[in-house]
Amino acid sequence: MIDFHLAQINIAQARDSMESETMSGFVNRLSEINALADASPGFVWRLQTEEGDATSIQAFDDPMLIVNMSVWEDIDSLKNFVYKSMHIELLRGSAAWFKKIKNVHQALWRVPVGHIPSLQEGKERLALLEKVGPCQEVFTFAKPIKPNS
């Protein structure tokens, strides 16, 4: 029996405001990509406003830093959505909309089934990954950590 799910947070540094022409290619695809996530096998939850996206949620002092958080049944479900669905098109075009972030910008961690992580929890996982690197409490796609038995 699986007793945990996978939570993820990622942040991106927007090149301009969400209302700008620069960001329009990204913004125009948000509803489509969010609907794709919602319908993807293994999807559990995502951070969103009443409007259905998270771009207006200000989690950091910098208003150009946007945040995305979600929960998935497992790492394979998340990987399939990120890298094997139309979502990959957004990743390929991301340099047009987002500046490169030098620090940690994505973190993965296990949560008990039914737990919905808070923004604060996500920010703490990013900070922990920055401080200690991949471990049981937080990890990355590149360095996934299997749970202790």
DSSP string for 34-63? HHHHHHSTTEEEE---TTS-STT---SSST
Structural tokens at position 87? 């979502």
Mean pLDDT by 10 residues, the chain (149 residues): 90 96 93 94 96 90 96 96 87 89 95 97 98 96 83
The whole-number pLDDT of residue 149 equals 56
Q: What is the DSSP letter of 73?
A: S
> What are the sequence ranges of the domains in the chain?
10-101
The phi and psi torsions of 65 (rounded to 5 degrees) equal -95, 110
Query: Residue 95: enclosing H or E segment and its boundaries?
Result: helix 94-97
**69: β partners:** 9
The whole-number pLDDT of residue 115 equals 97
3-class state of residue 110 by DSSP: strand
The whole-number pLDDT of residue 6 equals 97
Cα-based torsion angle of the residue sequence 27, 29, 31, 36 in order, rounded to the nearest 10 degrees: -140
CA distance 57 to 49: 7
pTM of the entire predicted model: 0.93
Using an 8 Å Cβ cutoff, are 57 and 46 in contact? Answer: no
- Which of the four CATH numbers 3.40.50.300, 3.30.70.100, 3.90.1170.50, 3.40.220.10 does domain 10-101 have? 3.30.70.100
The phi and psi torsions of 128 (rounded to 5 degrees) equal -65, -45
User: What pLDDT, in 10s, does the model give residues 3-19?
Assistant: 999 999 999 999 999 99
